[in-house]
Amino acid sequence: MNYQAPLSDMKFILENVVDYNNLSSTNHFEDTSLEMTSAILNEAAKLAEEILSPLQRVGDLNPAILENGVVRTSPGFSDGYKAVADGGWIGVAANPRYGGMGLPLTIQTCVNEMMNGACLSLSLNPLMSQGQIDALEHHANDHIKSLYLPKLISGEWSGTMNLTEPQAGSDVGALTSKANNNNDGSYSISGQKIYISWGDSDFTNNVCHLVLARLPDSAPGTKGISLFIVPKFIPNHDGTLGQKNNLRVVSLEHKVGLHGSPTAVMEYDKAQGWLIGEESQGMKAMFTMMNNARLGVGGEGLGVAEAALQKAVKFASQRTQGKSPTNQTGSIIDFADVRRMLLTMKSKTYAARAICLATAVAIDMSKAEHEKSWVSRAALLTPIAKAFGTETGIEVSNLGIQVHGGMGFIEETGAAQFWRDVRVTSIYEGTNGIQAIDLVSRKLMDGGQAAFELINEINHLCENAPNELIKLSSELKTASDTLSEATSWMVMQKNLNERLAGATPYLESFALVLGAFFHLKGAIADNKAQSRVKLASFYINHILPSVFSLCKSATAGSTDIYKLSAEELNIM
């Protein structure tokens, strides 16, 4: 079964749940109507379903390879990428001055989800370029912008992000790659980078690497890091390609999944690069790219969750095995435990989609109105969207294997590929543990103001819900109050490590409450078939109760975590 874009759910959430219409009331996005957005998403759905989806298994069974120094991509990937580029889908949210559409990031988020669900391995390529485009728009000088952005937006060139080194993973400040000023406007970059997604391909004319490196005598740690753009081929001033730069792909990683996406070890040997932003301000520029990518990665998890859900529902609807007490259709979808798994998959996918789109709307509103409240809302939601989106992708794809039973463990069904492909998303662009640390530290530095404002919105909805939904709204209000208490506890802690010990359960509890909030909004808006009321009822009654135990763990402090020594962990 090929992937089917969840257009009805996207459009419902945009119209009824995340207040997308607010964008069209701003001068910045005044031409962004739901009608126009719907037409764009319909075209993106055709791309995902007809062109990208057939490449999903092809990439898994025919991985990218490194042959005589050249990366050979999976069969059909070149044509798939060309369709993405020719359709303008890389630059949906990019600046029109350089060839982008200038549309809201919210639309880009929907488009990306569809591409991710259809073929995650290939869709990673344009996602990396989108992050680079965002970083260059914000931090590059006018010459770099005019030279690189039109090529990246058109898809003629692609972009990557080079942070990690063998000794410097999450601790980026430990990197040792060097940069020396050539005194001609360029720099010489030397060092090795690992885990570089789409470090090379055979279907773009140039690959442009954003590389973190350290100048001589720079400050230690992250304060001394600068950012450079280092192209595979050095462009001439008119954008034509000149000589090949002194960089190469050393090897491609052998991975659990994402086989169609080449993950490279890159070596730079006095390669020519150009500074992005100011010297020793590289992390500021890189975080622009990473924050863009964090929402994008949350959308990767979401896209895979939707694809795994579709496959599991179809299998459960057709598979006959035994006879359930209800005996409605004769298929395993009638068994209570199978139905529980499918409803968990569907309700969490809906919650993740709503959280990702709410994050995108907040980012768009912050750009359109520059109000502090929107900036704070976008910052608060970003780590939640990344972590919950990817954890949902992992959980849903894992349940999808379980729904398939023994056939889920057999590769020919394709159910296991979803889990193998999505598993890394909770690790890269900042592990989900780092997202949780960001949430309880930086994002609560305002005394919890942004968090409490969102909690107050949730409570307001609960207090004004229609009578027929009073039971669901009451359950959500109780969970929201518990989250509020946990947030107050976090803010009160003077010892940061007390917060960090409960960071992950706190983030999860926040995400689950948000999911219930968006389910309730959907239930209120669903005045026809009532299917969303039924889905909200399952989520609030079966998923939301986890909030109470999660908040207890979040506020337990660090004592129990350190009672057992490292030595005892090793010998027990």
**Residues labelled catalytic:** 429
Taking the alpha carbons at both ends of the chain, their separation in whole angstroms is 47
Q: 151 with 157: CB under 8 angstroms?
A: yes
Which burial class, exposed, middle or buried, applies to 34 when counting CB atoms under 10 A from its CB (0-12, 13-18, 19+)? middle
In DSSP notation, 200-222 reads: --SSSSEEEEEEEEE-TTPPSGG
Distances (CA, A) of 293 to 117, 220, 267, 382: 17, 26, 23, 10
In DSSP notation, 19-40 reads: -THHHHTSSTTTT--HHHHHHH
Amino acid at 12: F
User: How many residues can be counted in the chain?
Assistant: 572
Distances (CA, A) of 25 to 42, 67, 107, 109, 365: 23, 53, 16, 20, 10
DSSP 543: I
Rounded CA gap, 1 and 302, in Å? 19
Which burial class, exposed, middle or buried, applies to 568 when counting CB atoms under 10 A from its CB (0-12, 13-18, 19+)? exposed
Rounded CA gap, 234 and 206, in Å? 9
Angle between helices 503-525 and 336-369 (to 10 degrees): 90
Amino acid at 539: Y
**C-beta atoms surrounding 301 within 10 Å:** 32
Rounded CA gap, 120 and 59, in Å? 10
Token duo for residue 65 = 């390879």
**C-beta atoms surrounding 167 within 10 Å:** 9
Rounded CA gap, 215 and 213, in Å? 7
Distances (CA, A) of 391 to 3, 6, 388: 21, 20, 5
Residue reference for tokens 């490449």: 55
Rounded CA gap, 159 and 277, in Å? 17
Rounded CA gap, 273 and 213, in Å? 11
Torsion of CA 280, 227, 296, 78, to 10 degrees: 180
DSSP 199: -
Q: 7 with 316: CB under 8 angstroms?
A: no
**C-beta atoms surrounding 70 within 10 Å:** 11
